[in-house]
């Protein structure tokens, strides 16, 4: 039995374009004498369609496309994913896979398990299917499942359980092959867990298993492809290219035979290659940016260059995604910018070969704004958080103006997860942009990825290490006041990032974090309060490509206004302050302006971290 795996990159809502991709895959499958062609979940509308499913005519266009595919199928059994109308349930749609053959739809398989956790909201739109069943194809009994029907949330939670087991239902019907249509978004390490699940299923039921995953990026989600074939002994025999479109035909042996056809190879080396976390993250973010730019019809990227590690890494990934000639960097030094920051930015631009690297000082604009504000605010605008945020917003104005003036360009925000978590970022300043490329990477992960890229620069498409060593070595600083460093205001990143990852990605309580890490209790409580208070900023943040199990954005819908012990703000209402930093001299207190970034805040953080 020859099965073609169609790992395609659909555009959400482009039913005509997505149908054309499937027809092209069908043509290749016929040339390669495939018996069956398998696509990914909802390939005709693209995943995730979200409320586009509610728009008049969208589902009907998908249903018409299924009939067109059936007419073109010929002798190939084409299994295509799409939404369809249904009646009699609590919701008007089903998430389905049609089996098309010789001009007809010979079977319809509906998804039974509809995830409603993290970024998924399928139970909002779809009625669950009734049962799994087997379809006779090319002399084999083939069971068809759709994504969650196979994974059953086992890759994300040991506590989440479903009442039915679709794969077990198929096995009970003497299924000889299981095929799964997937649109499983990338999360670092998830693919490896899926491999283990597939091995267990294949071994438990003694049946070969084929999982075809969507490729490409849509909004905040990246789909890595890496479609998999596992033989009935649990051996991974085929892995399609990661983060790339591909149609590949594999041959399953006769049901009584062992092993795989001689043209297939053991995929062990490919599996080992993807066990390196930074490699996965680099390719995921590169694809995320490339598709966001391309699918929105843009051609160029613009970003501010500070000489620090965040903007350097963002420029590198942008260059890898769309080519350095299509990336423009802008240096905007102030009176507080160091000579080294400018030199490092110029060095980075030369290493990458950026299309442009311009320098636009903000000193004159800063002074003019200071004089304008002083007439009303007096000396309150002369220093502290007000003055620091004015500088950040002046840079935001410059970058947005340049993005408007440059046809086909998008602005990248360079804020990282540590900053976005704690509110150490400025609304309408460094948070400006269409996409926050690094928004799901903590600062320590930023350094890890940057060093990996320098070490593996040829694999990443660069002739030499692209990130200046001085950008890696210097102390992080916003350079908004004299001799400033991030650790004046924030705990050391090696401590902060553990708190962020535990509180955000693992949903641990303050006490659990304290007990498991031994960190100072007051420091942990202050940091957690900072995270909760900054929710109002995150609700206004750019799109953040998801690479961790718990990213800011759609998958973490937290309230802005909240209070109580559980929220971490201990009786105070969240979301009132509009500061760059959320640390205050009173843990959990919300001030009408900005909790201080002055000496009180600095000394307090230093005291708490020193006590540890």
Checking if the pLDDT of 407 tops 60, the result is yes
Q: What is the rounded average pLDDT of the residues 114-142?
A: 94
Cα(373)–Cα(611) distance, integer angstroms: 40
pLDDT value of position 607: 40
Q: What is the rounded average pLDDT of the residues 558-576?
A: 63
Domains of the chain in start order, with CATH, are: 2-255 (3.60.110.10), 283-611 (3.40.50.620)
Q: Based on the number of CB atoms within 10 Å of its own CB, is 162 exposed (0-12), middle (13-18) or buried (19 or more)?
A: middle
Q: Is 111 a catalytic residue?
A: yes
Q: What is the rounded average pLDDT of the residues 123-151?
A: 95
Checking if the pLDDT of 482 tops 70, the result is no
Checking if the pLDDT of 570 tops 60, the result is no
Helix or strand (DSSP H, E) at 435: strand 435-436
Q: What is the rounded average pLDDT of the residues 262-273?
A: 70
Checking if the pLDDT of 264 tops 60, the result is no
* Active-site option among 147, 175, 432, 460: 147
pLDDT value of position 270: 86
Residue 85 backbone dihedrals phi, psi, to 5 degrees: -75, 145
pLDDT value of position 265: 55
SS3 content of the chain, % helix, strand, coil (to 5): 40, 15, 45
Checking if the pLDDT of 177 tops 70, the result is yes
The larger pLDDT score, comparing residue 600 to residue 203, is at: 203
Q: Is residue 3 very low, low, confident or very high in pLDDT (cuts 50, 70, 90)? A: very high
The larger pLDDT score, comparing residue 556 to residue 260, is at: 556
Least confident piece of the model among 76-80, 108-112, 297-301, 593-597: 593-597
* Active-site option among 62, 100, 109, 111: 111
Strands 177-182, 356-359: pairing kind: unpaired
Q: Is residue 400 very low, low, confident or very high in pLDDT (cuts 50, 70, 90)? A: very high
Least confident piece of the model among 244-248, 252-256, 320-324: 252-256
Checking if the pLDDT of 612 tops 70, the result is no
The tens digit of pLDDT for each residue in 330-365 reads 999 988 878 888 999 999 999 999 999 999 999 999
Checking if the pLDDT of 105 tops 80, the result is yes
The larger pLDDT score, comparing residue 97 to residue 567, is at: 97
Checking if the pLDDT of 575 tops 90, the result is no
Checking if the pLDDT of 224 tops 50, the result is yes
Average pLDDT, the chain: 89
pLDDT value of position 255: 63
Checking if the pLDDT of 424 tops 60, the result is yes
DSSP letters for 252-317: PPPTT--S--TT----HHHHHHTT-HHHHHHHHHHHHHHHHHHHTT--EEEEE--SSHHHHHHHHH
With beta carbons less than 8 A apart as the criterion, state whether 309 and 476 touch.
yes
Q: Is 104 a catalytic residue?
A: no
Q: Which two tokens stand for residue 3?
A: 């099965």
Q: What is the rounded average pLDDT of the residues 295-310?
A: 96
The tens digit of pLDDT for each residue in 452-465 reads 999 999 999 999 99
pLDDT value of position 30: 98
Q: Is residue 163 very low, low, confident or very high in pLDDT (cuts 50, 70, 90)? A: confident
pLDDT value of position 269: 84
Strand blocks (E) in 59-150 = 77-85, 93-101, 104-110, 134-137, 140-146
Q: Is 41 a catalytic residue?
A: yes
Checking if the pLDDT of 571 tops 50, the result is no
Cα(549)–Cα(310) distance, integer angstroms: 21
Q: Is residue 374 very low, low, confident or very high in pLDDT (cuts 50, 70, 90)? A: confident
DSSP letters for 205-234: HT--EEEEE-EEEETTEEEEB--EEE-TTS
Neighbours of 440 (CB within 10 A): 29
Share of the chain above pLDDT 90, in %: 78
pLDDT value of position 475: 72
Least confident piece of the model among 428-437, 504-513, 596-605: 596-605
pLDDT value of position 566: 55
pLDDT value of position 288: 98
Checking if the pLDDT of 472 tops 80, the result is yes
pLDDT value of position 483: 63
Cα(590)–Cα(593) distance, integer angstroms: 9
The tens digit of pLDDT for each residue in 53-93 reads 999 999 999 999 999 999 999 999 999 999 999 998 899 99
Cα(285)–Cα(591) distance, integer angstroms: 37
Checking if the pLDDT of 584 tops 60, the result is no
């Amino acid at each position: 039995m020859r099965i073609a795996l169609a790992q395609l990159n659909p555009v959400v809502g482009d039913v005509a374009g997505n149908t054309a991709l499937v027809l092209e895959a069908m043509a290749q499958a016929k040339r390669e004498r495939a018996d069956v062609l398998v696509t990914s979940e909802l390939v005709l509308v693209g995943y995730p369609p979200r409320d586009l499913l509610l728009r008049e005519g969208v589902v009907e266009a998908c249903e018409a496309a299924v009939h067109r595919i059936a007419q073109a199928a010929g002798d190939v059994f084409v299994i295509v994913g799409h939404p369809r109308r249904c009646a009699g349930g609590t919701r008007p749609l089903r998430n389905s896979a049609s089996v098309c053959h010789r001009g007809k739809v010979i079977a319809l398989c509906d998804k039974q398990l509809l995830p409603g956790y993290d970024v998924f909201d399928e139970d909002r739109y779809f009625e669950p299917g009734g049962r799994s069943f087997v379809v006779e194809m090319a002399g084999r009994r083939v069971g068809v499942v759709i994504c969650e029907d196979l994974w059953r949330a086992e890759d994300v939670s040991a506590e989440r359980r479903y009442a039915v087991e679709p794969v077990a239902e198929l096995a009970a019907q003497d299924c000889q092959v299981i095929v799964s249509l997937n649109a499983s978004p990338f999360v670092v390490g998830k693919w490896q867990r899926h491999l283990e699940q597939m091995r267990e299923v294949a071994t438990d039921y003694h049946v070969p298993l084929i999982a075809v995953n969507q490729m490409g990026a849509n909004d905040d989600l990246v789909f890595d492809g890496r479609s998999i074939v596992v033989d009935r002994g649990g051996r991974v025999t085929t892995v399609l290219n990661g983060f790339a479109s591909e149609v590949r035909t594999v041959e399953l042996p006769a049901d009584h035979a062992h092993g795989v056809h001689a043209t297939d190879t053991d995929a062990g080396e490919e599996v080992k290659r993807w066990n390196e976390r930074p490699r996965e993250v680099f390719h995921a973010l590169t694809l995320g940016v490339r598709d966001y730019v391309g699918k929105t019809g843009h051609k160029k990227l613009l970003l501010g260059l500070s000489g620090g590690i965040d903007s350097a890494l963002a420029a590198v990934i942008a260059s890898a995604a769309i080519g350095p000639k299509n990336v423009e960097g802008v240096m905007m030094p102030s009176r507080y910018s160091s000579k080294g920051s400018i030199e490092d930015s110029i060095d980075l631009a030369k290493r990458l070969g950026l299309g442009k690297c311009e320098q636009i000082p903000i000193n004159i604009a800063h002074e003019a704004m200071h004089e304008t504000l002083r007439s009303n605010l007096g000396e309150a605008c002369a220093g502290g958080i007000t003055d620091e945020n004015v500088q950040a917003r002046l840079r935001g104005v410059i970058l947005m103006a340049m993005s408007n003036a440059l046809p086909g360009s998008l602005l990248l925000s360079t804020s990282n997860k540590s900053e976005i978590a704690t509110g150490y970022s400025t609304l309408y300043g460094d948070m400006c942009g269409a996409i926050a490329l690094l928004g799901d990477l903590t600062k320590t992960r930023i350094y890890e990825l940057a060093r990996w890229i320098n070490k593996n620069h040829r694999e990443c498409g660069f002739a030499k290490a692209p990130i200046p060593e001085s950008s890696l070595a210097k102390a992080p600083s916003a350079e908004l006041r004299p001799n400033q460093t991030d650790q004046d205001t924030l705990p050391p990143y090696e401590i902060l990032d553990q708190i962020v990852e535990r509180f955000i990605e693992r949903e641990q309580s303050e006490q659990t974090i304290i007990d498991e890490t031994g960190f100072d209790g007051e420091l942990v409580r202050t940091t957690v309060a900072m995270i909760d208070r900054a929710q109002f900023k995150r609700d206004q943040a750019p799109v953040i490509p998801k690479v961790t199990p718990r990213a800011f954005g759609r998958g973490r819908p937290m309230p802005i206004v909240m209070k109580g012990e559980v929220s971490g703000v201990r009786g105070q209402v969240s979301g009132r302050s509009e500061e760059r930093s959320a640390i205050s001299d009173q843990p959990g207190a919300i001030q009408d302006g900005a909790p201080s970034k002055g000496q009180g805040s600095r000394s307090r953080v230093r005291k708490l971290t020193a006590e540890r």
